[in-house]
């Protein structure tokens, strides 16, 4: 059932991605709203979300939604879609590559399906529980990199919550010196998909929302990677902080982050 559902959902997500791609470069300054500090939205985000809610609701009648733009009633239920219609809105509005549609499905509070469609590269990453992770029909997996010295990391810079800037900068400084490099593309869902397919060895960020990471986290897990919060626990979906890495690097990355954010 999940595999078939995932295939059908991928088709819906692909159609929405085509709409987003067609609108790139067309949004005028007076069509951009500021929801909160450095959090932007336009008619593209809202229309894309409406499209997703309508079609995914038909695909799974009785399902409920948790969405970034709140164009539909937010609810908990046995089957819950978690949707970010356009992750990387700032990139999209500034004409920069790297933005995506992110859709996850939870059953009884367990994520069982995840789709991340990076629009500019037309890359559809998807996974269902127990089915592995895939990119455009090809199975993907995390890297086997075993040392920080050989790793390439991704992160997201704080843009609205600066209360933990000091520990964040400590971590950033440590990894700057101990890895091959750190990248920041501005779309957490894509960062996670790129960990899942081996482009990055690990990703970490705080200040995240469930729709930023629900789909991508499952991709990483189904690709053989490991997910946790900054303490090493499982409170990442609603805990606003996430580490995603291959199995060998998760602990070394966690050690650095935990020491900075939660020193004993």
| CATH number for the domain that contains residue 118 | 3.30.540.10
Lowest mean pLDDT segment, chosen from 154-158, 161-165, 179-183, 254-258: 161-165
Residue of 29 and 72 predicted with greater confidence: 72
User: Where do runs of H (alpha helix) occur along the chain?
Assistant: 2-23, 43-59, 89-93, 165-178, 188-196, 210-222, 250-261
What would the pLDDT profile of 189-219 be if each residue is shown by its tens digit? Answer: 999 999 999 999 999 999 999 999 999 999 9
User: Are 90 and 213 found together in one domain?
Assistant: no
User: Are 132 and 39 found together in one domain?
Assistant: yes
pLDDT value at residue 36: 59
User: Are 125 and 163 found together in one domain?
Assistant: no
Q: Which domain holds residue 231?
A: 148-261
User: Are 179 and 211 found together in one domain?
Assistant: yes
User: Are 196 and 120 found together in one domain?
Assistant: no
Interatomic CA distance for residues 226 and 248, integer angstroms: 9
User: Are 130 and 27 found together in one domain?
Assistant: yes
Which of 101, 124, 140 finishes a domain? 140
Residue 22 scores a pLDDT above 90 = yes
Q: What percent of the chain has pLDDT over 70?
A: 98
User: Are 136 and 157 found together in one domain?
Assistant: no
pTM: 0.95
Q: How many domains does the chain have?
A: 2
Which residue has 């397919």 as its token pair?
A: 197
Interatomic CA distance for residues 51 and 206, integer angstroms: 29
User: Are 12 and 96 found together in one domain?
Assistant: yes
User: Are 6 and 129 found together in one domain?
Assistant: yes
What would the pLDDT profile of 144-163 be if each residue is shown by its tens digit? Answer: 999 999 999 999 998 778 88
What would the pLDDT profile of 71-110 be if each residue is shown by its tens digit? Answer: 889 999 999 999 999 999 999 999 999 999 999 999 999 9
User: Are 51 and 123 found together in one domain?
Assistant: yes
User: Are 92 and 184 found together in one domain?
Assistant: no
Which of 140, 161, 192 finishes a domain? 140
Interatomic CA distance for residues 176 and 165, integer angstroms: 16
User: Are 125 and 161 found together in one domain?
Assistant: no
Which of 113, 140, 167 finishes a domain? 140
pLDDT value at residue 159: 77
| CATH number for the domain that contains residue 155 | 3.40.190.80
Q: Find the Cα–Cα–Cα–Cα dihedral 25, 205, 250, 111, rounded to 10°.
A: -70
């Amino acid at each position: 059932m999940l595999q078939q559902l995932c295939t059908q959902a991928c088709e819906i997500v692909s159609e929405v991605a085509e709409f987003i791609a067609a609108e790139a470069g067309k949004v005028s300054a007076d069509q951009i709203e500021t929801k909160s500090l450095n959090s932007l939205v336009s008619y593209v985000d809202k229309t894309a979300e409406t499209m997703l809610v309508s079609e995914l609701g038909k695909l799974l009648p009785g399902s409920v939604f948790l969405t970034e733009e709140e164009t539909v009633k937010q609810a908990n239920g046995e089957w819950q879609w978690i949707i970010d219609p356009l992750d990387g809105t700032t990139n999209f509005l500034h004409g920069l590559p790297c933005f995506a549609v992110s859709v996850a499905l939870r059953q009884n509070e367990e994520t069982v399906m995840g789709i991340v469609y990076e629009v500019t590269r037309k890359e559809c990453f998807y996974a269902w529980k127990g089915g592995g992770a895939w990119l455009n029909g090809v199975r993907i997996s995390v890297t086997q990199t075993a040392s920080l010295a050989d790793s390439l990391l991704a992160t997201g810079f704080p843009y609205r919550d600066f209360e933990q800037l000091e520990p964040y900068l400590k971590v950033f400084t440590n990894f700057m010196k101990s890895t091959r490099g750190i990248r920041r593309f501005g779309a957490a869902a894509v960062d996670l998909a790129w960990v899942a397919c081996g482009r990055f060895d690990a990703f970490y960020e705080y200040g995240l929302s469930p729709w930023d990471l629900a789909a991508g986290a499952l991709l990483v897990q189904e690709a053989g990677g490991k997910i946790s919060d900054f303490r090493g626990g499982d409170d990442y979906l609603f805990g606003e902080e996430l580490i995603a890495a291959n199995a060998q690097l998760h602990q070394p990355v966690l050690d650095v982050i935990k020491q900075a954010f939660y020193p004993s």
